[in-house]
Chain A
């Protein structure tokens, strides 16, 4: 258990470090230097003017943020600095919008199936939905030993929702942002440079942390409910070294507990962010002439095919770990 926690912790740290490192690198001068090598040929078109590769990358990594400006007015951030200055009370409109649209899509599709569901011979959509639900139900039964009617629908929602959000990664990388830019420029009169749009909500840590904290709240709730407050605190303080090792126990178990949501969130975020990054880098090659562009096309196909595996796997891992954490919360061990 504890070696497992440490292992998880190590992985979180590495993911966190990797994600932060990529981010820092993008905004650093080194990135500009490395990307400078491509500059001559690599100039993707944005609107009617040419922009540099690093601008292109930065543009793709910036959320469309709504919040309060320095001067007290509310509105969308025009650049990364403004978005950062908005502080905590700001909303990433693209993340929220995409995730809610995809969530509604999920709800609509499965509700439609659930309304018409019949125990006879299933057909079409019902067959498909049953295949997924059966698969998730088997996973839950395999990993979750307690009695709780909430876990299976929770796992189902997590899997489908995250899969759909990850799936946006397979859309051509400029498709939705360009559409958003067109809409923003022509319908809202915005500056094309300030219409940011990140299509993949799971590349925004807010989305992954939101879900992970949701799961964490359930873990805490069920830990207290099943073991009692005393039992839960006892689990945190009296293991593994008995009451005389209490400070160390608290530290170890506390890290193990905190590691759960953070590892969940950062694993998903790190994987999707890195995948998105590679798509962006491949997209830059399209501006570099026919040969490099064709090579980029091949790379993109290859990476997209590989990415089908990643997006499914990440959704599955998030779901499975949620089930496992909730199972641990339900188990009493003295």
Chain B
């Protein structure tokens, strides 16, 4: 229970420990606490921002989907229109081509027929002539009757 120099020793020890804590203990731990506080605040702010951005993105996505749908509809209707056009065009083309083929076929047929007629005509003349010559070989004047036959052939 005596007050003695211990009191001075205690004051010195006290001062040293306070100085130590003030320099080497308190600041780093407080800095870490502050940093964590800041980190948490930043994290919360980021989360808030993220939520906001997500909302915006959702809204934008909705808009994009809406636009895409409209575009798709437009494209489909265009395609349908175009399809119809193509079908119509093909029909027209087909008709024209058909007509063309038909006319050319007709012309060919006519040509063939004419050729056959000519051939027939030329052959009928000679056959008839041959037959007539055989029948009338003796009594017919060759020259006079040829004129007659030619007149007949031209009439066919």
Expressed in whole angstroms, the Cα–Cα distance for A150 and B35 within the complex equals 20
Asked if B131 is at the interface of the complex by the 8 Å CB criterion, the answer is no
Asked if A23 is at the interface of the complex by the 8 Å CB criterion, the answer is yes
Please report which residues of chain A, range 73-89, place their CB below 8 angstroms from some CB of chain B when the two chains form the complex: 83-84, 86-89
Stretch of B8-16, B50-58, B68-76, B140-148 lying at the A interface = B8-16
Q: How far is the CB of A20 from chain B (nearest CB, A)?
A: 9
Q: How far is the CB of B17 from chain A (nearest CB, A)?
A: 5
Please report which residues of chain B, range 1-40, place their CB below 8 angstroms from some CB of chain A when the two chains form the complex: 1-11, 13-18, 20-22, 24-26, 28-33, 35-36, 39
Q: How far is the CB of B6 from chain A (nearest CB, A)?
A: 4
Task: Please determine whether A130 and B33 come into contact, CB atoms closer than 8 angstroms.
Answer: yes
Task: Please determine whether B25 and A110 come into contact, CB atoms closer than 8 angstroms.
Answer: yes
Task: Please determine whether A210 and B8 come into contact, CB atoms closer than 8 angstroms.
Answer: yes
Q: Which of A117, A149, A210 contacts B10 (CB 8 A)?
A: A210
Please report which residues of chain A, range 112-131, place their CB below 8 angstroms from some CB of chain B when the two chains form the complex: 113-115, 117-120, 129-130
Produce 1/0 per residue, A146-167, CB < 8 A to B: 0001101110111001000000
Stretch of A28-36, A91-99, A184-192, A304-312 lying at the B interface = A91-99
Q: Which of B7, B15, B17, B32 contacts A107 (CB 8 A)?
A: B17
Task: Please determine whether A214 and B15 come into contact, CB atoms closer than 8 angstroms.
Answer: yes
Interface range for B: 20 to 34
Task: Please determine whether A86 and B14 come into contact, CB atoms closer than 8 angstroms.
Answer: no
Task: Please determine whether A133 and B33 come into contact, CB atoms closer than 8 angstroms.
Answer: yes
Interface of chain B, main secondary structure: helix
- A207 — which chain B residues lie within 8 A by C-beta? 6, 10
Known: A110-B25, A111-B25, A154-B22. A99 touches B4 (CB 8 A): no
Task: Please determine whether A133 and B17 come into contact, CB atoms closer than 8 angstroms.
Answer: no
Asked if A331 is at the interface of the complex by the 8 Å CB criterion, the answer is no
Task: Please determine whether A91 and B15 come into contact, CB atoms closer than 8 angstroms.
Answer: no
Q: How far is the CB of A222 from chain B (nearest CB, A)?
A: 14
Expressed in whole angstroms, the Cα–Cα distance for A334 and B18 within the complex equals 32
- B13 — which chain A residues lie within 8 A by C-beta? 96, 99-100, 103, 210
Asked if A44 is at the interface of the complex by the 8 Å CB criterion, the answer is no
> Which residue of chain B has the shortest Cβ distance to A132 in the bound complex?
B29
Please report which residues of chain B, range 81-133, place their CB below 8 angstroms from some CB of chain A when the two chains form the complex: none
Expressed in whole angstroms, the Cα–Cα distance for A99 and B7 within the complex equals 12
- A100 — which chain B residues lie within 8 A by C-beta? 13
Expressed in whole angstroms, the Cα–Cα distance for A266 and B7 within the complex equals 14
Asked if A275 is at the interface of the complex by the 8 Å CB criterion, the answer is no
Task: Please determine whether B26 and A115 come into contact, CB atoms closer than 8 angstroms.
Answer: no
Expressed in whole angstroms, the Cα–Cα distance for A87 and B14 within the complex equals 23
Known: A96-B13, A99-B13, A210-B14. A113 touches B7 (CB 8 A): no
Q: How far is the CB of A25 from chain B (nearest CB, A)?
A: 12
Asked if A324 is at the interface of the complex by the 8 Å CB criterion, the answer is no
- A23 — which chain B residues lie within 8 A by C-beta? 1
Of residues A106, A110, A206, which shows the largest number of chain B Cβ atoms within 10 Å of its Cβ?
Answer: A206
Task: Please determine whether A153 and B21 come into contact, CB atoms closer than 8 angstroms.
Answer: yes
Task: Please determine whether A119 and B35 come into contact, CB atoms closer than 8 angstroms.
Answer: yes
> Which residue of chain B has the shortest Cβ distance to A90 in the bound complex?
B4
Q: Which of A130, A134, A214 contacts B14 (CB 8 A)?
A: A214
Q: What 16 new A-B contacts, CB under 8 Å, besides A61-B1, A110-B21, A201-B10?
A: A63-B2, A88-B3, A91-B5, A92-B6, A111-B24, A113-B25, A114-B24, A119-B35, A137-B33, A152-B26, A153-B22, A154-B18, A206-B3, A206-B10, A207-B10, A210-B8
6 A-B pairs with least C-beta separation: A210-B10, A206-B6, A119-B35, A153-B22, A153-B26, A114-B28
14 contacts between A and B (CB under 8 A): A89-B4, A91-B9, A95-B6, A96-B9, A99-B10, A110-B21, A111-B25, A118-B32, A119-B36, A119-B39, A154-B21, A154-B22, A161-B17, A207-B10
